[in-house]
Amino acid sequence: MFWFLLISLAAVVAAVTLAVVGGSGDGRGGPVTGGLADVAPDRLDEPLPAGRPVSRMDVDGLRLPVTARGYRMQQVDDVLDRLGAELAERDARIAELESALAGAQAVAMSRGEQGRGGAGAFAPDSAEGRDGR
């Protein structure tokens, strides 16, 4: 009885193994994985627009594909590199505009002080104006 059970167990294991490994065809010559057709990997085609600066809505709408162990590192690195480059560009532009504004304010202040100093020298209540000379 023991031998019969052992041989039956071996036959069942062999049949299951052949069914899973050896008979994995879809009838057309192609392999079938788990009974489903092959699916293209989950990849991000265009994570951020290339022809214009990134906006808040682009970042809000960004969804990176998830793999079995997390996110695809290369795609995350590409997105972060792009965002970092655009932030650096915007920071440089902001610094440039702030320095231009500070320069314009300094010129306006110096012109305003020169105008006040020149007008005060010729004012009627000055020492020359009171003496009549």
Task: Name residue 27's amino acid.
Answer: G
Q: Domain limits of the chain?
A: 54-61+70-115
- Alpha-carbon span 86 to 99, nearest angstrom: 20
State the pLDDT confidence band at 98, using cuts at 50, 70 and 90. Answer: very high
Q: How far is it, in rounded angstroms, from Cα 37 to Cα 26?
A: 9
Angstrom distance (rounded) from CA 102 to CA 61: 37
pLDDT digits (tens, 9 = 90+) for 54-86: 888 888 888 777 777 888 888 888 888 889 989
Q: How far lies 4's CA from each of 9, 13, 82, in Å?
A: 9, 14, 68
User: pTM (2 decimals)?
Assistant: 0.46
